[in-house]
Amino acid sequence: MERIVTVVPEDGLHARPASKFVETANEYDADVQLGRADSDDLAPAASMLAVTGLGVSAGEDVRLVADGDDAEAVLDALEDILSTPEAEH
Amino acid sequence: MAERTLTGIGVTPLSGVGKVVWYRPDADLPEPPAPEDVDADAELARFDEARSVAEDELQTERARTAERVGEEEAAVFDAHVQFLNDPQITDGVTDAIEGGLPAAHAVQETFTGFVEQFESMGGRMGERADDLRDVRDRLVRVLSDGERVDLSSLPKGSVVVAERLTPSDTAQLDPKRVAGFVTVTGGRTSHAAIFARSLALPAIVGVGEELESVEDGTEVVVDGDAGDLVVDPDDDTKADAAAEAEVHVRSGPVETADGVGIEVAANVGTLADLGPAVDRGGDGIGLFRSEFLFLDRESPPDEDEQFEAYVEALESFEHGRVVVRTLDIGGDKPVPYLDLPEEENPFLGERGIRRSLGPDASLFETQIRALLRAAGSTDGTRLSVMLPLVTTLDELHEARERFESVASDLAEEGLAHEMPEFGIMIETPAAAFMADRFAPHVDFFSIGTNDLAQYVMAAERGNERVSELGDYHQPAVLHAIDATVSATEGHDCWVGMCGEMAGDPDLTELLVGLGLDELSMSAVTVPHVKEAVTETDTAEAEALAAKVLAADTKDEVTNLLTTDQ
């Protein structure tokens, strides 16, 4: 299951949004990967190092790929984080 | 040895004298033993144990930082925990141990690889490199059983010198034992600088590589005002610094040389500021920024939580007045549970009292209940309430009606309550122009100079391109202050000032001359302003004020203030 999402938080996938993203990815029973929408390279969403290492900025599109029982739920939760402005975390 | 001076960015207006303790968390580890001498299973177990110790430490320091500095600064520890448990990192360390390295060396090697990778990417990644380095050094410290300098038990009078100080480092520092700190890197808004200000520690950041030439045990003077680090100071320099460091903390009320009492109070932006406000000799709290109770959380504080916070502030002082400013929130401060609209210009938008009387009416009602109950508590007679960003009399009257209606609700419920002293902030030209109409209806004014200067001059001090304009030495700002004070003549209405201007001891004489009754500032400068009050003669101060008000330009104002001192 996959989804393309535009990153809204001003910090991009750094600092607190990244922290929240990784925390959430780890909460569900699913294997989640992410990468830039225009690239086939994927990194594990459960790894802070991998997520911040992508260096995704606000306004970029990312691809989320999830596999497992909670795939849909985890994608919903992660999409919510990525599409919520800075103020909300 | 002759003294010499290194210069960096001073971040607190304080001086300290002490002996250098170099803190080098990334000092070299000893040579590793041969791979065949390493017991991989034992080292893996040590690594797991170290991670769990490090995680416990991080949770403790997170809590301590949230309390001392604030939630925003504490959040960085969440990222640290995630790096600590990152699968890529733990896999990397495990591989390195299985390849024959002891745990400490394996951690050092694996993290350093990622640090370099992040650093080479630059920008935001550089900040993450700092986090990784921080986690690495913590793990290595735990694994090498405290062979490094322990920041939590330094000898008294230590000046900590380091390449940089991370949030983890500063959380361990005991402000009672540390005479100051100096770092090679960092700027005015770095974590270390924020930390130094909230704990009132002398500090200099961004000294540069030259700092490496200062050896362990060297005597130094840290002048956090000028940003000067004096190495091997001679006796005169030390005496000056000691006099400065010992700036006499006066815990009682002060008066001018000719006997006019001036209240010198502290501004409080978190409950952690209450300690320094008392320790630095504040007479009370001139600005309790109640919005901090509402920020960085998922839901607003309830009535009891607010009540307890106000009572805690009152109980911190035996006699002092505590002025609580009601919720001052606008589009520039994120509050997740409030529906704050995106505004083109949040500083001219729906903020302060405008929101309290509008969309945040129910939050405001809860706050009023807590305030009225606090005013009815044991120490409640010392509570004052002021409204932010008032521009019209209608706003004042409407707010007061809300207070009265809540008071009658509380009476019906049989809950103890009182009407506190009631005032408004003067921070807009509208309020300054109408001050004579406001004065009969309030007990006091508090002039918020940061916002007043910005609104009078249509220029923001934080914006370097116009900061000269937004400066409180501008004649227009001084005239707005003078008009406000003059408008209270004949009315039972005292006038205070909160904002950076009140905390500038070079302006104390002028402010006394303009007729201010109370000055409120960050706790750090309370002793300096109290000292300046005692040296002021009101007749001379009034003469100075008259000359300053006659000046046409900011430069003339500045000249008058410097030549008269």
Q: How many Å apart are CA B433 and CA A49, to the nearest integer?
A: 56
With CB atoms and an 8 Å threshold, state whether B79 touches A23: no
If asked whether residues B44 and B189 sit together in one domain, one would say: no
CATH number, position B59 = 1.10.274.10
> Domain total for chain A?
1
Which residue would you say has higher pLDDT here, B347 or B357?
Answer: B357
Q: Which residue type occupies B366?
A: T
Predicted pLDDT of residue B117? 83
Residues B312 and B456 in one domain: yes
Residues B415 and B313 occupy one common structural domain = yes
Q: What percent of chain B has pLDDT over 90?
A: 58
Name the range with the highest mean pLDDT among A46-60, B192-206, B319-333, B511-525: B511-525
Q: Are residues B70 and B190 in the same domain?
A: no
Range with the poorest average pLDDT among A17-21, B362-366, B421-425, B558-562: A17-21
Which of A18, A46, A49 lies closest to B114 in CB terms?
A49
The 3-state DSSP composition of chain A as helix, strand, coil percent (nearest 5) reads: 40, 20, 40
| Same-domain status, B186 and B282 | no
- Binned at pLDDT 50, 70 and 90, residue B347 comes out as confident
Please judge whether B79 and A48 are an interchain contact, meaning their C-beta atoms are less than 8 angstroms apart: yes
Indicate whether B42 pLDDT > 60.
yes
pLDDT at B564: 47
* pLDDT on residue A89: 43
Q: In this structure, what token pair is assigned to residue B533?
A: 């009050």
CB within 8 Å: A16 and B75: yes
- Weakest mean pLDDT among B49-53, B88-92, B173-177, B442-446: B173-177
pLDDT at residue B363 above 70? yes
Q: Which residue, B143, B178, B195, sits at the end of a domain?
A: B143
Q: Ranked by mean pLDDT, which of B56-70, B99-113, B518-532, B538-552 comes out on top?
A: B538-552
Low-confidence ranges of chain A (pLDDT < 70): 86-89
**Is it the case that residue B392 has pLDDT exceeding 50?**
yes
Domain coverage including residue A62: 2-88
In a domain, B62, yes or no: yes
Residue B533 shares a structural domain with residue B429: yes
How high does pLDDT run on average in chain B?
Answer: 89
Give the CATH number, domain containing residue A70: 3.30.1340.10
Q: How much is the pLDDT for A88?
A: 44
Which tops the pLDDT comparison, B64 or B264? B264
Q: What is the mean pLDDT of residues B317-344?
A: 85
Number of folded domains that form chain B: 3
DSSP-derived secondary structure for B183-199: ESS--TTSHHHHHHHHH
Examine the domain organization and report whether B313 and B397 are in the same domain.
Answer: yes
B82 reaches A (C-beta below 8 A):
yes
Are A12 and B79 a contacting pair at CB < 8 A?
A: no
Asked if residue B256 is part of any domain, the answer here is no
Predicted local distance difference test score (pLDDT) of residue B245: 65
Cβ distance A19 to B82 less than 8 Å, yes or no, reads yes
Q: By the CB < 8 Å criterion, does B79 face chain A?
A: yes
Residue from B473, B493, B498, B528 carrying the catalytic annotation? B498
Residue B224 has pLDDT above 60, yes or no: yes
CATH of residue B382's domain is: 3.20.20.60
Look up residue B355 and give its two tokens: 């929101």
Q: Are B113 and B205 part of one and the same domain?
A: no
Q: Which residues of B are annotated as a binding site for phosphoenolpyruvate?
A: 289, 325, 450-451, 461
In whole angstroms, give the CA distance from residue B89 to residue B107.
Answer: 9
Confirm whether B191 is a catalytic residue: yes
- Give the mean model confidence (pLDDT) for residues B463-492: 91
Q: Which residue matches tokens 């409030």?
A: B338
pLDDT surpassing 60 at residue B86: yes
| Contact check, Cβ <8 Å, B75/A46 | no
pLDDT for residue B304: 96
Residue B538 pLDDT more than 90? yes
Q: Which amino acid would we find at residue B93?
A: V
Is the pLDDT at B565 greater than 60, yes or no?
no
Domain boundary at B245, B269, B296, which?
B245
Lowest-confidence segment of B159-173, B261-275, B512-526 by average pLDDT: B159-173
pLDDT at B37 (0 to 100): 87
**Digit-coded pLDDT (tens) for B46-77:** 999 999 999 998 988 888 888 777 777 787 88
Spatial contact of B247 and B531, defined as CB atoms under 8 Å apart: yes
B135 and B156 fall within a common domain: no
In a domain, B30, yes or no: no
- Per CB-CB distance under 8 Å, the chain B contacts of A15 are 79, 124, 127
Residues B187, B299 within the same domain: no
For B482, half-sphere exposure in the C-beta direction (CA atoms, 13 angstrom radius) is: 18
| pLDDT at residue B322 tops 90 | yes
pLDDT of residue B102: 92
Could A48 and B86 be called an inter-chain contact, meaning their C-beta atoms sit closer than 8 Å? yes
Taking contacts as CB-CB distances below 8 angstroms, the residues of chain B near A16 are 75, 78
The whole-angstrom separation of Cα A29 and Cα A82 is 20
Shortest distance between the Cα of B79 and any Cα of chain A, in A, equals 6
Q: Give the span between the Cα atoms of B171 and B476, in whole angstroms.
A: 43
The CATH number for B230's domain is 3.50.30.10
A32: closest CA among A83, A70, A86? A70
pTM of the complete model beyond 0.90: no
* Whether the predicted pLDDT of B123 surpasses 70: no
Sign of CA dihedral B252, B255, B256, B261: positive
The residue to which tokens 């996959």 are assigned: A2
Residues in chain A with CB shorter than 8 Å from the CB of B121 are: 53, 55
How many whole angstroms separate alpha carbon B86 and alpha carbon B111? Answer: 11
3-state secondary structure of B254: strand
Percentage of residues of chain B with pLDDT beyond 70: 94
- Domain range for B425 is 261-563
Q: Which amino acid is at B345?
A: N
Provide, as residue numbers in chain A, all residues whose Cβ is less than 8 Å from the Cβ of B79: 15, 18-19, 48
Q: Which residue has the higher pLDDT, B464 or B295?
A: B295
Residue B252 within a domain? no
Of B103 and B330, which is predicted with more confidence?
B103
List chain B residues with CB under 8 Å of A12. Answer: 124
Q: Are B168 and B134 in contact (CB under 8 A)?
A: yes
With a cut of 70, say whether residue B124 has pLDDT above it. no
- The answer to whether the CB atoms of B118 and A46 lie below 8 A apart is no
- As a three-state string, the secondary structure of B3-21 is CEEEECEECCCCEEEEEEE
Interface size A-B, in CB pairs within 8 Å, comes to: 55
Residue B219: inside a domain, yes or no?
yes
> Which region among B224-238, B325-339, B375-389 has the lowest average model confidence (pLDDT)?
B325-339
What average pLDDT score do residues B339-357 get?
Answer: 88
Residue from B178, B226, B167, B220 nearest B200 by CA: B178
Average pLDDT over residues B495-512: 92
Does a structural domain hold residue B254? Answer: no
Do B325 and B183 belong to one domain? no
Contact B222/B18 with Cβ under 8 angstroms? yes
Out of B191, B417, B473, B528, the active site residue is: B191
Report the C-alpha gap between B355 and B377 in whole angstroms. Answer: 28
The more confidently predicted of residues B201 and B493 is B493
B201 and B269 in one domain? no
Residue B251 lies in a domain: no
* Interatomic CA distance for residues B114 and B170, integer angstroms: 24
Mean pLDDT, residues B146-156 taken together: 74
| Nearest CA distance, B295 vs chain A (angstrom) | 11
Catalytic residue among A8, A10, A11, A14: A14
B336 interaction partners in chain A (CB closer than 8 Å):
87-89
Q: Give the range among B137-146, B186-195, B265-274, B506-515 with minimum mean pLDDT.
A: B186-195
In eight-state DSSP terms, residue B342 is: P
Query: Phi/psi at B476 (nearest 5 deg)?
Result: -60, -40
Q: Give which of A28, A15, A39, A18 is closest to A82, Cα–Cα.
A: A18
* Amino acid symbol at A45: A
Interatomic CA distance for residues B417 and B440, integer angstroms: 24
